[in-house]
Amino acid sequence: MDAQPRPADHDPLSVTGLGAAEGPCDPTPWLRQRKLRKFMGRQDDLAVAAAGRALESAGLGGAGLGERAGLYLAVGFIPFDGDELDALHAASAVDGRFSMRRFATEGYLAPNPLLTFRCLPNMPAFHVSINFDVQGPYLVTYPGAGQLYAALEEARIALESGAIDVALVGGVAHQRNFLVEHHARRLGRPSEALEDAAGVLVLETAARAARRGAVTRARLLDCAAGYRPWDPRAETRVLDDRFEEAGLDLAGFGAASLPVALGGLPPGRHRHRLASGDGIEAASTWEIA
């Protein structure tokens, strides 16, 4: 299986904004409602910061985007911290063993009541939507680097059909936590290679970008993805994404890899190839301005 690049059917889409965030980051400069800060986990912080930076670089900072803007976001594996599990277990154990009876009366009350909000995979999209007033269509997909290409494809359909004027396309991965590191360890991959990161692109049609005088930072020239089916009941998942782009080591960035990569490329034509651990192979060509 090999991904066969396909030229864009329409005028190339323009990247008019790029934003990235890594590690612990502070999203408060972009929060419209500070009261929602307590609901935010790291993946939410990262997504809001990356989207805020991308919009600012596109000259759209501070503007409510409204109905003509869509969000296409690939979200990494569900994060779950060991501290929360410890609290849950400690309050649910009898003689050191998990007790359903104690869990049902005490244990389930032990974790922070806001925990659910902080780990749900649709919450980064919620926080981006509310802070930048995105009311348009969306795709929220999960969990690998390959899914970013699915998000990109959906955004292209929406932009080229005229359904929206602006697409935020990005990925976010909170991976330095107990659960995701556990996934990596059991599959033989060093958890130290994992990064907490988000990257967001602002995509527009070339005509729309020109009309509003936006600076085109890159153009999407072609894009395609293929897939090798595999049996999760017989094969161990290979949690090992491989990227081909000179000078970039992006395997630890998960769903954020492509937008993070684009932010680091010098001017010129670049081919980005991905062989993801979930069987997706994808390739795209970008003209960096």
Taking CB under 8 A as the criterion, which residues in 213-242 touch other proteins?
Answer: 225-234, 236-237
Residue 143 DSSP code: S
How many Å from the N-terminal Cα to the C-terminal Cα in the chain?
32
Q: Is the peptide bond before 143 cis (omega within 30 degrees of 0)?
A: yes
CB of 259 to other proteins, least distance (A): 18
CB of 73 to other proteins, least distance (A): 10
| CA–CA separation, 242 and 55 (whole Å) | 29
Of the candidate spans 52-60, 79-87, 188-196, 207-215, the one that interacts with other proteins by CB under 8 A turns out to be 79-87
Q: Binding mask 1-30 vs other proteins (x if CB under 8 A, - otherwise)? A: x-----------------------------
Q: By CB under 8 A, name the one of 7, 26, 108, 192 that touches other proteins.
A: 108
Interacting positions 134-193 with other proteins (CB under 8 A) = 134-144, 146-147, 149-150, 153-154, 157, 161, 179, 182-183, 186
Nearer to other proteins, 20 or 179 (CB): 179
274 near other proteins, rule: CB under 8 A = no
79 near other proteins, rule: CB under 8 A = no
Q: Binding mask 31-50 vs other proteins (x if CB under 8 A, - otherwise)? A: -----x--x-----------
Query: How does DSSP assign 19-31, residue by residue?
Result: EEEESS---GGG-
Nearer to other proteins, 175 or 217 (CB): 175
**Residue burial 61-86, b: 16+ Cβ < 10 Å; e: rest:** eeeebeeebbbbbbbbbbbbbeebee
Please give the radius of gyration of the chain, using alpha carbons only, rounded to the nearest integer: 20
Bridge partners (DSSP) listed for residue 266: none
**Residue burial 42-53, b: 16+ Cβ < 10 Å; e: rest:** bbbbbbbbbbbb
